[in-house]
Structure 1
Amino acid sequence: MSKRAAIKLTDEELADFLAKERKVQIASIGKDGAPHLVTMFYTLWEGKIAFTTYKNSQKILNLQRNPVMTCLVETGTDYNELRGASLTGNALITDDPAILDPVGQAVGHQIIGLEPPTDLTKADPAVVEGIRHMMRKRYAVILEPTKISSWDHAKLG
Structure 2
Amino acid sequence: MPKRRSLIEMTDSERDAFLASGRTLNLASLGPNGRPHLVAMWYCLLDGTIWCWTYAKSQKALNLRRDPRVTGLIEQGDRYEELRGVTIYANAAIEESPSQVALVGRTLFERYQSGTSTVSIESFLGSAPKRIAFALAVEEFVSWDHRKLEGRY
Structure 2 residue aligned with 1:89: 90
CA contact (8 A) 1:52 1:103 kept: yes
CA contact (8 A) 1:22 1:43 kept: no
Q: Does 1:45 align with 2:38?
A: no
Residue 150 of structure 1: how far off its partner (Å): 0.3
Partner AA of 2:30 in structure 1: I
The alignment-based identity, stated in percent, is 39
Structure 2 residue aligned with 1:114: 114
Distance across 1 between alignment mates of 2:115 and 2:11: 27
Structure 2 residue aligned with 1:147: 140
CA contact (8 A) 1:41 1:110 kept: no
Distance across 2 between alignment mates of 1:86 and 1:44: 16
Distance across 2 between alignment mates of 1:71 and 1:45: 17
Q: Does 1:133 align with 2:136?
A: no
Partner AA of 1:55 in structure 2: A
Structure 1 residue aligned with 2:8: 7
Structure 1 residue aligned with 2:103: 102
Q: Indicate the RMSD between aligned Cα atoms, in angstroms.
A: 2.0
Aligned length: 148
SS of residue in 2 equivalent to 1:148: strand
- CA pair 74-100 structure 1, distance change in 2 beyond 3 A: same
Residue 109 of structure 1: how far off its partner (Å): 4.1
Gaps of 5+ in 2: none
Q: Which moved more, 1:127-136 or 1:38-47?
A: 127-136
